[in-house]
Amino acid sequence: MSSLVTTASLTPFVTTPIVLTIAGSDSGGGAGIQADIKAISATGGYACSVITALTAQNTQAVTGIYPINAEFVEQQLDAVFSDLNVIAVKVGMLSDSNIIHSVAKKIKQYTPKYLVVDPVMVATSGDLLLHSSAIDSLKSELLPLADVITPNLPEAAALIGCSVPKNEDEMIAMIDELRQLGAKSVLLKGGHLETDDNSTDLLILADNVERLSTERIKTRNTHGTGCTLSSAIASYLAQGHELSAAVKRGKYYITQAIAHADELNIGQGHGPVNHFFVLNTQGQS
């Protein structure tokens, strides 16, 4: 009697790089949970999610925020961690101190291998997404748990209580204070220096700083860039890349997503980046 060999029996076991995004929902689809899931999927990870807030949002403005009850956030986290082998976690919009406390508590309980924190405070439209009273909770409870935090210049300034940098020298002057926030590393993003020809980020490690610079792309379609970059970094970490390599790959991915953003025609304000630029390019060939 011959044995039956199935396709499954010939397939080697591969650990699926599962990435959990903990963030708010963007009804316009360009940022938040929606951007995170797109970026994680496009870069080779499997995305699962815990929603911390609902927003009424489009490419022009945030017109409403509805925080999710902290107990239900914890229920979502328990559901995901008790079943899925989450390797990396990306944290975005948390809205208030109660949710920050709940997320920090569950991160300590389940100890995922990697934690990427994007300290979301202000939307591309300029709308406030994190209550000022919650910044202290973010700094004391969550940032010290992170492998990398990814603030833009206004966020970094708010975290350490200084004015927003106007040039790269002023970015460099922030390094010591950003290290004191307690995260293992900081990716200080220089995208807001709009008069510079290049977009330069500083990867601040414990004992050195890596300068990552790419040519600045002229487009108004930059909605969700921070969410997208931090999610891509988490995805690459989950796939086994070292931190520096994961950040460089994430930087390349977001640069290409921005470069292809004008191929989309979404909304009347700051449109989203093109998360699936590779598939869209293939479809046009």
Cα dihedral 25/27/31/36 (nearest 10): 50
Active-site positions read 189, 222, 224-227
SS (H, E, C) the chain: CCCCCCHHHHCCCCCCCEEEEEEEEECCCCCHHHHHHHHHHHCCCEEEEEEEEEEEECCCCEEEEEECCHHHHHHHHHHHHCCCCEEEEEECCCCCHHHHHHHHHHHHHHCCCEEEECCCCECCCCCECCCHHHHHHHHHHHHHHCCEECCEHHHHHHHHCCCCCCCHHHHHCCHHHHHCCCCCCEEEECCCCCCCCEEEEEEECCCCEEEEEEECCCCCCCECHHHHHHHHHHHHHHCCCCHHHHHHHHHHHHHHHHHCHHHCCCCCCCCECCCCHHHHHHHHC
